[in-house]
């Protein structure tokens, strides 16, 4: 888990990261659930999203056999 703290989104995935982040933070919650985040909720959701994206990327790299 310590690797996540120093991890950077690879250049190939910046677009996917940004679009998905925008959807998760600003589109889906208010339009699908009718909620708006507090400052703490926004920060926690941002950290949660980043950890999930990191995990997805690690699994994808293992499945493809890349060692980037």
The verdict on residue 46 lying in a domain is yes
> pLDDT-based confidence at 4, cuts 50/70/90?
confident
The verdict on residue 13 lying in a domain is no
Looking at the structure of the chain, the number of domains it has is: 1
The verdict on residue 23 lying in a domain is no
The verdict on residue 2 lying in a domain is no
The stretch 40-58 carries a mean pLDDT of 94
The verdict on residue 14 lying in a domain is no
The verdict on residue 19 lying in a domain is no
Domain containing 53 equals: 36-68
What pLDDT sits at residue 66? Answer: 67
pTM beyond cutoff 0.85: no
**CA 10 distance to own-chain centroid:** 12
Q: pLDDT, tens digit, for every residue of 5-40? A: 898 999 999 999 999 999 999 999 989 999 988 999
- CA neighbor of 9 nearest in space, from 61, 65, 44: 61
């Amino acid at each position: 888990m310590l690797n996540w703290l120093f991890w950077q989104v690879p250049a190939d995935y910046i677009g996917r990261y940004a679009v998905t982040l925008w959807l998760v933070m600003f589109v889906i919650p208010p339009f699908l659930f009718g909620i708006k985040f507090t400052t703490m909720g926004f920060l926690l959701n941002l950290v949660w999203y980043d950890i999930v994206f990191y995990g997805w990327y690690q699994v994808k790299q293992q499945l493809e056999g890349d060692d980037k």
